[in-house]
Amino acid sequence: MSGGTVATGRRGSVVPAAERGATRIADRVVAKIASQAAREAVGVLPPDAAPPHATVVVRPHAHPGGGGTAPSRAAYVRVHLDLDYPCDIGARCHAVRRHVAERVRAGVSMEVPEVTVQVERLHLTGTAGTARGRTR
C-alpha cells in the first residue's frame, strides 16, 4: 500500500497514518538503555565502584525550523557514575555523553539534546610501590 495508509483487516477499510497513533516508550526503558551505554563507555572500574545509572525525562521536542511536522519526543538524560582516578575526567565524561546519545538514538529513535554526566565518586587506583597519603 502507498500513501501512508494501512488496511485494518476488513474489506475496503483503510486507516490514514495520521489517525493510527504512535508508539510510546517508557522513560525507564530509555534509562536502562542509557545506563547500559554508560557502562560500555566507562569500561572497567574498580571493584568498589558503583555501576553507572541514569535518570531520563522524556518530553515533546519541537523540530528546529518549525516545519509543519508534529513535535517528536526527546530524551534528556542524566548519568551518575563513579570513575577511577587518576584519569582524564573530561575525556571520559565526553565519551560517556557521546556513547549514551548514540545508543539512545539508535535504540528508541529519540532525539537526545542533552546528556548530563554527574561524577559521584573518584576511586583512587593504587599502583604497586605508590606511597599512601596525600595525592596531588
3-class SS string, 43-103 = CCCCCCCCCCEEEEEEEEECCCCCCCCCCEEEEEEEEEEEEEECCCHHHHHHHHHHHHHHH
Per residue in 8-55, pLDDT (tens digit) is 555 667 877 767 777 788 889 999 999 999 999 998 888 888 889 998
Cα atoms found within 13 Å of the Cα of residue 56, Cβ hemisphere only = 26
pTM: 0.71
* C-alpha span between 100 and 32 (Å, rounded): 11
Instruction: Give 51's strand partners.
Output: none
More confident of the two residues 82 and 73 = 82
Per residue in 83-127, pLDDT (tens digit) is 999 999 999 999 999 999 999 999 998 999 999 999 999 998 876
* C-alpha span between 96 and 74 (Å, rounded): 18
Given this model, what pLDDT does residue 122 score? Answer: 93
Q: Which secondary-structure segment (H or E) carries 112?
A: strand 111-124
Q: pLDDT band at 129, cuts 50/70/90? A: very low
Among 87, 111, 86, 88, smallest CA distance to 101 is for: 111
Grid cell listed for 118: 554527574
Given this model, what pLDDT does residue 132 score? Answer: 54
Domains, the chain, ranges and CATH? 24-61+72-116 (3.30.300.20)
Residue 128 has pLDDT above 50, yes or no: no
Given this model, what pLDDT does residue 64 score? Answer: 61
